[in-house]
Each structure stands twice: as structure tokens, then as C-alpha cells.
Structure 1
């Protein structure tokens, strides 16, 4: 199965688990992801961008510093700018962040849904999907790669 089709299938599977959206920053090198997919609401995406929230987002900071799973309602999450509460106010609840890969090529993801907190087996499913996306998209350093160009055209945004 080719890489593009596989990533498309994995993103579709994530979409089925995350009815209010997900975001994947894949293979972050320095401060920039090789690939970025998100399908949160346009309202939230615009608000997040217009207000530069990535710089204050505690789950992004956590993902750059750690690997594993973080629940957005973790009482130890340091969020002085209130980004998680702002997300909740925009309908993004029950959030889970998953970070995988080495610091030099980290993948950080966020997943939300309306139907209540993700159960342990659902979080494990999300983790497996994210780790597979990370693995399948590995080795795409060449900016002229046809696979990379095709992966950048995949669109999972909400209409």
C-alpha cells in the first residue's frame, strides 16, 4: 500500500474517533512540522492563529518536552494563558495530546470529541494511529519527494 493512501486511511480513522476535531504536527524539526493536518472548526482554527496561541499552548509545550499521552484536564497542566479553557469554549472538549518520536523529529497531536472522555482503550487506539502516521511519514527529508507533495495535498479540514 502506498504511503499517501496509508496516511489518508489513518487520518480517516482518527476523524472517526474525534468528532470535534484533531490536529497533527508531524515530524517537527526545529520549530516547524514537515506535515500539518487539522480539522478543528474554522472558528477555532482562525481564533487560535489570529491570537498566536501556539506560543502559549501548554499541550504543544508539553509535547515538545515529553513523549506519551497527556489529558487536557490534567490538574498539573500549567496553562497560565488559559488556552485549554479557550478551546473548551470553542467546543473542543475531552482533549488528549499524544507526542512521539525523538526531539529532532517529534510528532505532536491533539484529539477532541463531544461524547465524553476517551476511555483507556480509545486512547491506546489513538496512540497506535499516531505512532503509525509518524512511522509511515518517516524519511521524507527531500522537499522534492512526490510522496511529500502528495501528502501535503491531503485535506481533512471541516467544511
Structure 2
């Protein structure tokens, strides 16, 4: 089954499709590397083994934007679903906007006025489970499908654990570069930007530029907010700290 990677654009409300043609794939948010494709392949493999009828991994979505979408459903369903109206009307997406944890599609109480799940059944996507994790500046959603039966509780637990590993790995470094983390960590300790510029052999403007990029990546308006968010999600505590 072919895997398709999406990068959200706002031209005509559509999506740009990025197809994985090689064994090694790099995912980017702008010019920022999210995770090496070879490492992602290893992390996604346990999910692929359970997802008999396909899956989607949507990382850090908010307000119609996301960092990465990995989609393994049939191409015909991809073309039908890519409509913006299908996306915002998807009861699984609606559930993930307000909930975290895991749930079977059949247990979701949200209405399906556009018949998204009914349309999916025409492509052999009959049963499914959703997993939502709030980490970093957005939410991340795993949706997994089966053609003939509901997923067992044990399968859902394995899916949740595998998805948590992906979210943790991406959240540790997806939104801040090492240079930005270095600056935020120093400023959080009380060092002034002028002093930090001298220590690093940089201009004050270069330090300010790193701060500005970090604030934008973390969706913050002030330096103090950026430090608070970076601290909350473990950016300033080193790469090995768990995010949950």
C-alpha cells in the first residue's frame, strides 16, 4: 500500500501531495527537519502491522494547519477526502479537537452530516480507532482502520503506545533547532541577550532572530511565553526527557 505525505497549503483550500519515492524520506516544516524518514519508518512499523485497512498520522494540527500527515489509505479515498469540507466534517477530527486518549469510531458521538464515514466504507474502511495526544503547540491524531472487524483493546493499547513514541520523538525537536534551544535555555537562566551574544560570539541581532523564530515556532507572542512553553514540553531539559 502506497504512503502519501501531505503538506498543508492555503492555495484554493487544498493540499499539496508529497509522495514518498525513496527508502529514505525527510519530513520538513518549512526548512526545519521533523524526523529522518528511516527513523520514522521504524517508529511507524508497529502501527502498519495493525492497520489492516490503512491509517493516518497527523502531527501537531491546529486551526486547519499541521506539520505532517502520513496517509496510507487507498488513493481513491485520498482524492475524495482531500476536500476541505470532508476534513472539517470528519467526526474523527471533530472528536480529536476536544478530546485526548483513544476511542473506536463506532463510539464517537459526533454527528456525521457529510457522511464521511459512510463514504469511507465504499473504500473498504469500515471500522476504526482514533488516538489523540496533546503535546507541543498542537494536537496529534492517529486514525487506524480495519475492513472486517473492530480493533481489540490490546491492539488499541499497542497503537496508543506506538503513537506516543512518534509524538514524543517529533515534539522533542520538531519546532526548535538546537541553536534556538541553546538561546532559550540561556535566557531562561537569567542571562541577558547582550551578554549571551558576547558569550556565543554573535551579534545581538542574531540572538534576537533566534528568539523570534522560536517564538513563532511555539506560537507565542512574548519571550516569557516561549520560555514557559519550551519548559513545559521539555525542550530546555535535554532530548532524553519524557514528554508525558
- Would the aligned equivalents of 1:3 and 1:136 in 2 still touch at CA under 8 Å? no
1:120 maps onto 2:144 in alignment: no
Query: Which of 108, 130, 133 is the aligned partner of 1:97?
Result: 130
Instruction: Give the TM-score, by structure 1 length.
Output: 0.80
Give the CA deviation at 1:51: 6.6
Unaligned runs of 5+ in 2: 1-34, 178-244
- Secondary structure at 2:48 match in 1: helix
The alpha-carbon distance between structure 1 residues 3 and 135, as it changes in their structure 2 partners (threshold 3 A), is farther
The alpha-carbon distance between structure 1 residues 89 and 6, as it changes in their structure 2 partners (threshold 3 A), is same
1:72 maps onto 2:99 in alignment: no
Structure of greater relative contact order (alpha carbons < 8 Å, 6+ residues apart): 1
Task: Give the aligned partner of residue 11 of structure 1.
Answer: 44
Equivalent residue runs for 1:9-158 within 5 Å? 9-50=42-83, 52-74=85-107, 76-102=109-135, 104-138=137-171, 139-142=173-176
User: C-alpha root-mean-square deviation of aligned residues, in Å?
Assistant: 2.3
The count of residues paired between Structure 1 and Structure 2 equals 143
Determine the C-alpha separation between the residues in 1 that align with 2:108 and 2:142: 20
Give the CA deviation at 1:50: 3.9
- Would the aligned equivalents of 1:20 and 1:92 in 2 still touch at CA under 8 Å? yes
Give the CA deviation at 1:132: 0.9
Determine the C-alpha separation between the residues in 2 that align with 1:140 and 1:133: 11
Determine the C-alpha separation between the residues in 2 that align with 1:75 and 1:30: 21
Unaligned runs of 5+ in 1: 144-159
Determine the C-alpha separation between the residues in 1 that align with 2:131 and 2:97: 11
Q: Deviations over 1:11-67 (max 9, x none)?
A: 122111112100011122443111110100000010111473101111101101110
